[in-house]
A and B are shown apart, each in its own frame.
Chain A
């Protein structure tokens, strides 16, 4: 089974990388770009199992390694 963990910087944390991309887009002539935020997508191949248990396992992975709760939020998308 494939799971995806999306990790985003919390809204209140400044994202200099996103800001650099926003400026570059402006330089390229794209208008109307208000803001850019950059996060990470972690795709994980998992042995199939009970969905609730997998969800719990993924949350533990995210809490302990994939995301830093001080500055990041995460979202788990469990595939079929």
Chain B
């Protein structure tokens, strides 16, 4: 198992992901600057959170045109694992590796707090993940939107990865932090659900010293899959 973390100008969760993969899970992990090629032999590519290119134009819009993304697309289309967290999720929708779009939170606030997620569709990312987990969010533009046809496709193909829920796992409106359609917090794409985009930050709650370990389960699931 080898991983790469792509760094864009303005990424700010890159080192958190590098730390979790390298030091918590002992996965050999290479940072890759956005103007570089993806090294060969990589199993998992992570697009980290942050404000790539200052969120200019639209969140993720400029990053999706960077040189490295051609390799990331090829990796994803071949069935390689790609995890986009927060801004990484926005980059994945901008690059059409995932359907839909992430728009401004309905209440216009930056939301920075722990939320509860219900695991939905099964994939390589979900095998070690508890049914209900606590993971932090930190975003202004996390309101997932998709047209009715696209939503139906996500639902029938089991491509909804996580939905915001209450601590008991009930998917209710009050648990939705941003107004996302049907409480969507993360979705799968790619030929075999090998691409996961999610607004919450699993890398921020991956060690007991930081107050919780639920986030680690997503990385552990990938370790088992590779």
Contact = CB atoms under 8 A, between A and B. Distances in A.
Contact of B101 (A16, A65, A66, A70): A70
Contact of B108 (A13, A16, A68): A16
B93 A70 contact: yes
Nearest to B147: A70
B145 A17 contact: no
A64 B65 contact: yes
A3 to B, nearest CB: 16
A71 interface: yes
Contacts of A64: 65
Nearest to B109: A16
A14 interface: yes
Nearest to B140: A16
A17 B108 contact: yes
* B57, B62, B99, B106 interface centre (most CB from chain A within 10 Å): B57
Interface string A9-34: 00001111100100000000000000
A64 B145 CA distance: 19
B65 A65 contact: yes
A14 to B, nearest CB: 7
A16 B105 contact: yes
Interface residues of A, number: 13
Contact of A66 (B57, B99, B100, B107): B57
Nearest to A18: B104
Interface string B91-111: 001100001110111111000
Given A13-B145, A14-B103, A17-B108, A68 B58 contact: yes
A20 B140 CA distance: 15
Interface string A32-60: 00000000100000000000000000000
A55 to B, nearest CB: 21
B145 A71 contact: yes
A16 to B, nearest CB: 5
Contacts of B93: 70
B199 to A, nearest CB: 16
A47 B140 CA distance: 38
A66 B103 CA distance: 16
B104 A17 contact: yes
B106 to A, nearest CB: 6
A11 to B, nearest CB: 13
Interface of A: 13-17, 20, 40, 64-66, 68, 70-71
21 contacts: A13-B103, A14-B103, A14-B179, A16-B106, A16-B107, A17-B108, A20-B108, A40-B57, A64-B65, A66-B57, A68-B61, A68-B94, A68-B101, A70-B99, A70-B100, A70-B101, A70-B145, A70-B146, A71-B101, A71-B103, A71-B145
